[in-house]
Structure 1
Amino acid sequence: MAVRRAPTAEKRYRMDFGFSEEQEMLRKSARDFLAKESPMTYVRQMMEDDRGFTDAQWKKMAELGWMGLILPEQYGGAGLDFVDLVVVLEEMGRVVLPGPFFSTVILGGVALLEGGSPAQKERYLPRLAAGDLRLTLAQLEPNARWDAEGIELEARKVTDGYRLSGTKLFVPDAHVVDLLVVAGRTPGSEGGEGVSLFLVDAQSPGITTTLLKTMDQTRKLCEVVLQDVSVPGDRVLGEPGKGWQLLERIVDRGKVGICAEMCGGAARVLEMSVEYAKVREQ
């Protein structure tokens, strides 16, 4: 009689780091859509266009549910996790998709998910999922520092809320968003203490937004100057003065998202190189 061998430890504890069948279906759907809707001719047109995207394409992506992939179902989202979003971001990287998807869904969306109050989530997330709200994060300043001390924009407490004054640089898509997530500091505070994140209407009096000319025109960057901008007290994300930890979590997600786009782009470059090598004649 044959003796069955017990599975080895290697087989018993082997982990599968590949994407699931559902995620591969999502990838195919995204690739098919982007191949049709974002050819290189469209990308080049948007590089020359100040807005950098079209409302028609934005609406189509919203109808596919991409804006709400990682948002809870109660807010009109799909309730998926960040890995599912990474699949779509890789496909966007393959075609160098222009537009405010990254700034809205990752920078702004994660800020609301991680730090928003129930009232803030109820107010903004359904609009984000429907494609009716665009957001971005305003962090970097002229000092070019990414640490907590780099946040110098003044957030002065007043009776009815806060007054914000300062300059933000290289803010993604600030010229086309509805809402800015602005990092500010309580006067006299130091380090991570005293930093707060504010939800600021992009068209508020006292805000001047200037589109910058940069090397990569698929991702539009702006200078945003705030001069004594009034912000209601209920527009603070999380606990006032404790926003640095939240900001770090947002930036960490942003790093993952950017890496996903770069992996997708690198994969496409490799495919193009192999295709060329097969037909190249010496």
Structure 2
Amino acid sequence: MDFSYSEEQQLLQNSVSKFIQQDYDFDRRCKIVNSDIGFSQENWQLFAELGWLMVPFKVEDGGLGGFAVDLMVVMEEFGRGLVVEPFLACAVLSGGLIADGASEAQKRELLGLLIEGQLQLAFAFAEPQSRYNLADITTTAVLDGDSYILNGHKAVVLNGGAADKLLVSVRTSGAQQDCDGITLLLVDTNTAGLHRHEYATVDGHRAAEIKFNNVKVPIANRVGGEGTALPVIGKAIDRATLALCAEAVGAMEKIYKKTVEYTKTREQFGVAIGKFQALQHRMVDMFTEYEQARSVLLMAALKMDANKGVAPKAVSAAKSRIGKAARLIGQEAIQLHGGIGVTEELDVGHFFKRLTTVQYIFGSTDFHTLRFAGH
């Protein structure tokens, strides 16, 4: 079977790769990470101008097709560059919810602005007690006339500090872990009673804790039907998980190749450590893990495209396998670099931090192993 990229996919890959090589070196990334908002508005506008923000969406929604393999192409390159712009949180995850769950009028209003780079979105779904159960929701929304009154606490909201609007999963009926009774609301971040606490995560990205205290949300801001949002949320999370896996595969390729090159220059006992057979075996293990990870990623992307964006078992297989590979490759890279591997000045430590974090976003390695076994 031919797994080569199409001409369009190759052009897309070349476009992103050229940007990473020419305009996103490690020093520039460090400056962006340490900026006030944690990403570059200039880069975000460039993403829009080059059409990259169109990649996650279908043609009828103003996108390029919305194929998982296209998304994989972009995210692998972003992984190689350790890109911190909120493409995953804003365009893939939040944009996916809008594309699948919103009315035509809402899609016209929101997706156009998002694709033009004029709107920052974030999806607030996790809560302190929920772990990886998307249905474990204590944030409530009570209908009062033509508005919902929203109360609760959402944790680790990716891009939550920079977002203009939040998509919030709330409970409008049922018990805390019921699958029914979950509704999506679109909330302006300047609404009275909404409090945000933004912070930097260990991998150089940004997240926020968001609390709602009698926040008033018009009923027109409901995305989809009342109490029926969980399937839409699950589909969007799976798609974002696949994108995250692609980013991890790109990062793994970069870090293992950097490690191989480093062992050719670092000397011990008068010879390059890359000549030691024991270390060669460890680097072969890194290469093998990377190849297996990329194979399962491609399998999941193809299954998702073949099944109209729904492939939970394949996604869990990818997240489980890639999580294990990320752990091994990241830790081996640090050990083979020695002490300099954990310094702020060397990019290897930053790749390690991102690969470690990736293992726990949208479900841990163990969670997805059990989810795969349960399907």
Task: Output the TM-score relative to the length of structure 2.
Answer: 0.68
Q: Assess if the C-alpha contact under 8 Å between 1:209 and 1:222 holds in 2.
A: yes
- Aligned partner of 2:182 among 195, 213, 227: 195
1:212 aligns with 2:199: yes
Residue 149 of structure 1 deviates from its aligned partner by: 4.2
Q: Assess if the C-alpha contact under 8 Å between 2:143 and 2:149 holds in 1.
A: yes
SS at match of 1:176: coil
Instruction: Write 1 or 2 for the structure with the bigger share of helix.
Output: 2
Please give the alpha-carbon distance, in whole angstroms, between the structure 2 residues aligned to 1:148 and 1:215. Answer: 24
Q: Assess if the C-alpha contact under 8 Å between 2:135 and 2:230 holds in 1.
A: no
SS at match of 1:49: coil
Please give the alpha-carbon distance, in whole angstroms, between the structure 2 residues aligned to 1:83 and 1:158. Answer: 44
1:245 maps to amino acid: P
Residue 213 of structure 1 deviates from its aligned partner by: 4.2
1:16 aligns with 2:2: yes
Please give the alpha-carbon distance, in whole angstroms, between the structure 2 residues aligned to 1:210 and 1:72. Answer: 34
Please give the alpha-carbon distance, in whole angstroms, between the structure 2 residues aligned to 1:36 and 1:76. Answer: 29
Partner of 2:107: 121
Change (3 A) 1:166 1:244: same
Residue 254 of structure 1 deviates from its aligned partner by: 1.3
Partner of 1:181: 167
- Aligned partner of 2:122 among 117, 131, 136: 136
1:180 maps to amino acid: L
Residue 275 of structure 1 deviates from its aligned partner by: 2.1
**Aligned positions of 1:18-33 closer than 5 A:** 18-33=4-19
Please give the alpha-carbon distance, in whole angstroms, between the structure 2 residues aligned to 1:184 and 1:80. Answer: 27
Please give the alpha-carbon distance, in whole angstroms, between the structure 2 residues aligned to 1:140 and 1:257. Answer: 19
Deviations 1:208-257 (A, max 9, x none): 1101343122x201101111111111222221101111111111111101
1:236 aligns with 2:222: yes
Partner of 1:3: none
SS at match of 1:89: helix
Please give the alpha-carbon distance, in whole angstroms, between the structure 1 residues aligned to 2:112 and 2:212. Answer: 28
- Aligned partner of 2:249 among 263, 267, 273: 263
Partner of 2:23: 37
1:93 aligns with 2:79: yes
Residue 73 of structure 1 deviates from its aligned partner by: 3.9
Residue 188 of structure 1 deviates from its aligned partner by: 4.1
**Structure 2: gaps spanning 5 or more residues:** 272-375
**Aligned positions of 1:7-86 closer than 5 A:** 15-86=1-72
SS at match of 2:53: coil
Percent identity over the alignment is 33
1:106 aligns with 2:88: no
Task: Output the TM-score relative to the length of structure 1.
Answer: 0.89
SS at match of 1:250: helix
Residue 80 of structure 1 deviates from its aligned partner by: 4.3
Change (3 A) 1:254 1:80: closer
1:162 aligns with 2:148: yes
> How many aligned positions are there?
267
1:152 aligns with 2:152: no
Deviations 1:186-205 (A, max 9, x none): 14445111001111112211
Q: Assess if the C-alpha contact under 8 Å between 1:71 and 1:129 holds in 2.
A: no
